[in-house]
Structure 1
Amino acid sequence: MSAAPEGWAELVGGLEQHVSPEWSRHAHEHGGQGWIRLILLVDAHHQLSTPRVAEKVAMTMADLAADREGERAGWEAVRVKAEAERMELVARVVDSSETLLPDELLPLFVRSIEPTPPGM
């Protein structure tokens, strides 16, 4: 098995608290394989493309505090911060794909993360 490319361990370390232990195990054990990196990057992108628990809690609490403007604004600030942090991770996954995937697999990553137009 070949070694994972430079930057893989750093990316994995930055994502570990946001993905499952199973994801992390595969990343550590099989990161030297291009196809495994492709699958893991697509999976991480998918997981991080929807609001996480912190955002959902903040949205719900803001809705429940509709009559208490200060509290609602505080929860909205929490949601915005959590969303920004999540989107930074998504951008990091996408940006890293160019150096972490072999040239022949990069188009598959791009195609996998792009939304499918309606009717296709």
Structure 2
Amino acid sequence: MLSFFLRANAAFSMTTGLILTIAPSMTASWMGVQEAIWFRVVGIGLLAFSFLVAWQSNAQIPRWVSAIIQMDFAWVLGSLMLGIFNPWGFSGLGLWTMGGTAVIVLGFGIGQWLGFKRDLG
């Protein structure tokens, strides 16, 4: 169970990271904002994160898996705060995209947490 959710998280993070890194201007337009550079920065961070998650899908070192779960929940909380306060003026489509991504990440976090408790707890 834990391996499944870690692998799915790694694949999703890698895909999202590649999109944000390769096409930050397209992403900014989609989200309804002008500044594209931050999408590339987040994309590079997601690529690094995806490698950590992929590594842990096999290694499953408890402190690293716990950190990944915490980072996923932090992503969801951060997305919620950005959605509520919308400091950069994301478009409606941008807010829905961010919210949908947060729901997916929440699913990974819950699945990983349950798998952690079952497999490593």
Q: If the length of structure 1 is used for normalisation, what is the TM-score? A: 0.50
Question: TM-score by structure 2 length?
Answer: 0.49
Higher helix share: 2
